[in-house]
Amino acid sequence: MERFSIIYLLLLALGLFACSADSPIGVVSTPGPIYTFVDSAFFMDKFGTSHVKIAFNDEERNELNYIEFDNNEFRHEIIKTPAIPNHPQFSPDGSKLAFSTGHEGLTEVTEMYVIDLSQEGYPVYKLDAENAAIPRWRVLENGDTAIVFIDFSGPNIDTIWNLSSTFVVTFSNNTFGTPYKLFFRSYNGGVAIDNSFGVSGFTHLLYHYAFDAPEVNRDMYNNEQTCNVSVARDSSKIVSFLETRGTLGQEFTNDEYYHWHQYIFYMDSAGSLLKAIKAKGKNVFNGTEWIYVPGYQVSSITTNDEITEEIVLVDYNKETYYPILKADGRQVAYPDLWVDPNGSNF
């Protein structure tokens, strides 16, 4: 990759600790030179800016990694969170980072937090809810910034799923509003930007349309297993997902022997398959998620040796993907990528 540059980080240890009204949080430096990062020309070519932010959970250490990059300079911080940080996601303006303690497939109690990246010490704020998981930010029609979340992240074949719900809550001036219900049942794949439908994966791929009765869900994938479902954040309403070499997937790709999660599949809002992007070699995708820039996703890559150290940018329109970060010795889970709509920051 001629556009790649190897950037070594040796940061002095920091002693930054701060407290919010909710719980303490701290920041420490990265322990050594571990990253290969794409250079700024790549991001300039794709987005017209090299100012980006990346967040992911190191699944072995349960550490929230926060990286800011611009003009071939970047800083990497490990944010010490009050709980295990799963499914981190940047706010639309990049100033906040939400995460939950639960992720897809987990059935236990889960909490949701927001970190203010614009304040010294990165104060953290907890949503006062019995259960809250898999946050996804959005800007409402009235201009308010809000988070869509669910109250049960377990399988949608679990009886508890039939008692769950999908909510939205505003977040302004570091204060949560009162959550209100969007749909009955938890749609862990997200909700279309116009609230016209919600999608659930793990185990089945279920669509719920707003015009249907609350109990109606339509299986769009032959009653076969899907996971890592994500609804596009723009008006395209394209749904992406991974699966386990299902019958429909084999027929659509004309490929009988691919590995589980080796393709990202794409489906429209009516349930028709549109395309599939295949991982190279014996690699597979994990934690694929749409970003705010239309037509792009971020995902981690797992090798045949079950090592998940690489983050890639997926280009839906060109049907390919590009490595953007390698975290040597860290298990990358649920990455998110924010691109500055206003250009450079450093």
Percent of the chain at pLDDT above 90?
82
Q: Over the stretch 288-309, which tens digit does the pLDDT of each residue have?
A: 999 999 999 999 999 988 999 9
Tens-place pLDDT, residues 166-180: 999 999 999 999 999
- For residue 74, the Cα-to-chain-centroid distance in whole angstroms is 21
Instruction: Output 72 or 2, whichever has higher pLDDT.
Output: 72
Tell me the C-alpha distance between 269 and 320, whole Å: 22
Tally of CB atoms within 10 A around 15: 7
Residues 89-116 as b or e (16 or more Cβ within 10 Å = b): bbbeebebbbbbbbbbebeeebbbbbbb
Mean pLDDT score of the chain: 89
User: Has residue 18 got a pLDDT over 70?
Assistant: no
Q: How far apart are CA 42 and CA 327, in angstroms?
A: 18
CATH of 4-339, one of 2.120.10.30, 2.60.40.420, 1.10.3210.10, 3.40.190.80: 2.120.10.30
pTM for this model (two decimals): 0.90
Over residues 219-233, the mean pLDDT reads 97
For the ranges 5-14, 102-111, 141-150, 259-268, the lowest mean pLDDT is seen at 5-14
User: Can you give the pLDDT at residue 2?
Assistant: 37
